[in-house]
């Protein structure tokens, strides 16, 4: 049952971009996201004797999401970092991409419950299906579907309210 190095590399090639996309929308810091992706794979590799290749991707997702949750907790202890222009994606000429829209989305996402945020981000930015998200989060697939629907409705309401303000 020992994890093979080739399986870990294949998982990294499959998941690196989707993991980064989901983590970025939780942390809004590129460097933190890169660190967490790499840390997740290091932690999985350190436990390779106990890792089954069949569940490798779900384990990496769970590890990365837990690391992100810990990073957010750490930030709160050290005073929550406000979104600033340095943490936004840049255009080719170095300017922030749609600063106001990104800020509204960030604020709306922060108002969702953590479980709703995770499901929404995993479904929209990871390419995972409902049953895969259910496996990663350890909840029934039906719960994923209902929470996703509720999260999207709440996000629409929040984004509409921020557009009116």
Cα 142 to Cα 147: distance, rounded to the nearest angstrom: 9
Sequence spans of domains, the chain: 1-82, 97-165
Cα 142 to Cα 165: distance, rounded to the nearest angstrom: 35
Tell which CATH classification among 3.90.550.10, 1.10.1740.10, 3.50.50.60, 1.20.1250.20 matches the domain 1-82: 1.10.1740.10
Q: Which fold has domain 97-165?
A: Arc Repressor Mutant, subunit A (1.10.10)
Each of the 165 residues of the chain gets a pLDDT tens digit; together they read 678 999 999 999 999 999 999 999 888 899 999 999 999 999 999 999 999 999 999 999 999 999 998 888 877 666 534 445 455 555 555 555 566 667 777 788 888 898 888 898 888 878 788 888 999 889 998 999 999 999 989 988 988 865 444
Cα 163 to Cα 165: distance, rounded to the nearest angstrom: 6
Please, what is the Cα angle at 73 between 68 and 24, to 5 degrees?
A: 30
Residues 148, 154, 157, 162, CA torsion sign:
negative
């Amino acid at each position: 049952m020992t994890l093979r190095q080739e399986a870990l590399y294949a998982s990294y090639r499959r998941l690196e971009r989707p993991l980064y996309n989901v983590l970025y929308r939780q942390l809004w810091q590129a460097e933190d996201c890169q660190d967490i992706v790499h840390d997740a794979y290091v932690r999985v590799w350190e436990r390779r004797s106990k890792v089954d290749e069949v569940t490798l991707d779900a384990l990496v997702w769970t590890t990365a999401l837990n690391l992100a949750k810990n990073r957010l907790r750490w930030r709160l202890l050290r005073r929550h970092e406000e979104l600033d222009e340095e943490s936004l994606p840049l255009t080719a000429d170095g300017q922030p991409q749609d600063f106001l829209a990104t800020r509204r989305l960030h604020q709306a996402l922060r108002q969702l419950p953590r479980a709703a945020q995770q499901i929404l981000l995993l479904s929209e930015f990871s390419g995972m299906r409902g049953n895969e998200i259910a496996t990663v989060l350890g909840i029934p697939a039906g719960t994923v579907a209902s929470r996703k629907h509720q999260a999207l409705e709440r996000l629409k309401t929040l984004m509409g309210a921020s557009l009116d303000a």
